[in-house]
Amino acid sequence: MNKVFCLEDGWERLIHEIASCTKCPLHLSRKNPVPGEGDVNSPVLIVGEAPGKTEDETGRPFVGAAGQFLTELLYSIGVDRSKVYITNVIKCRPPENRDPTDEEIAACSPYLIRQIKLLKPKAIIALGRHSARYLYQLAGLKWTNMTREHGKVKSVEILGLRVKLVATYHPASALYNPGLREEIEKDFKGSIKQVVEEAFGKQAEGLLKYMKK
Ligand code: URA
């Protein structure tokens, strides 16, 4: 049965709670919280780290340069970004785009947990080491480092859901680094494409608007 975007199913309440959240000091410097966006019926969840400047200004995830690259990476595997759900571990921008602290992740991650429970994704793509480390931990896996883990498909249980989890480099770090760019593009065209197509299953033809030959 299709999930409906209404107060009863929790999405709207969650967005309101994030909008008024004061659980960590990031609320003092944010312009806008960035809860996430996309299809709340999607079987695919993309999890980045934290909003940057453009995201803070617009309240939307992955809309700056890294977001443009993510949109292209998704397009390269035949997926329109509106067909997945995109969010971050941290919903407010850390000043000067610094790394999120463990305290901020601890304060904010219950929102991500609620998003996972609402969405019930079949595939989760973790972008960047903070996101990957958090999701590996949630799945009971030991995180090592991105060089070793990127592109690997992990069949795991997260919050009672059977999920395929794949970590890859953060699009921002790969943007201006040709070596990493090649790696992230390979991950998308390889294991990420595979788990995304598998997650969409029979819906694929209707949902993957720009599928390439
Ligand atoms: N980087 C992230 O991790 N998330 C965004 O939303 C934008 C940039």
Q: How confident is the model at residue 207 (pLDDT cuts 50, 70, 90)?
A: low
Pocket test residue of 26, 58, 70, 88 for ligand 1, highest count of atoms within 8 A of CB: 88
Residue labelled with tokens 């809309």 = 63
- 46: containing domain: 3-212
Q: At 183, list the tokens.
A: 């790696």
Contact call for residues 131 and 48 (beta carbons, < 8 A): yes
- Euclidean distance between CA atoms 19 and 124, whole angstroms: 24
The CB of 61 under 6 Å from ligand 1? The reply is yes
The CB of 26 under 6 Å from ligand 1? The reply is no
pLDDT in tens, 126-155: 999 999 999 999 999 999 999 999 999 999
What's CA 184's distance to the chain center, in Å?
15
Question: Which ligand 1 atom lies nearest to the CA of residue 49?
Answer: 3
**How does DSSP assign 154-201, residue by residue?**
EEEEETTEEEEEEEE--HHHHHT-HHHHHHHHHHIIIIIHHHHHHHHG
Question: Which ligand 1 atom lies nearest to the CA of residue 86?
Answer: 6
Is the pLDDT at 176 greater than 90? The verdict is no
Task: Report the pLDDT averaged over residues 154-178.
Answer: 96
Contact call for residues 77 and 193 (beta carbons, < 8 A): yes
* pTM, entire model: 0.92
Partners of 37 in the beta sheet? 86
List of E strands, the chain? 37-38, 44-48, 85-88, 123-127, 153-158, 161-168
**pLDDT score at 206:** 52
CA of 1 to the centre of ligand 1 (A): 31
Q: Which amino acid is at 150?
A: H
The CB of 66 under 6 Å from ligand 1? The reply is yes
Contact call for residues 54 and 45 (beta carbons, < 8 A): no
Partners of 38 in the beta sheet? 85
Pocket test residue of 34, 55, 58, 129 for ligand 1, highest count of atoms within 8 A of CB: 55
Contact call for residues 150 and 183 (beta carbons, < 8 A): yes
**pLDDT score at 1:** 45
Number of domains in the chain: 1
**pLDDT score at 4:** 47
pLDDT in tens, 31-90: 999 999 999 999 999 999 999 999 999 999 999 999 999 999 999 999 999 999 999 999
List C-alpha distances in Å: 205 to 78, 83, 201, 209, 210. Answer: 10, 12, 9, 8, 10
Question: Which ligand 1 atom lies nearest to the CA of residue 54?
Answer: 7
Is the pLDDT at 8 greater than 50? The verdict is no
CA of 67 to the centre of ligand 1 (A): 7
Question: Which ligand 1 atom lies nearest to the CA of residue 128?
Answer: 3
Instruction: Indicate which CATH number applies to the domain containing 146.
Output: 3.40.470.10
- Euclidean distance between CA atoms 90 and 77, whole angstroms: 26
Is the pLDDT at 124 greater than 80? The verdict is yes
For all residues of the chain together, what is the average pLDDT?
Answer: 93
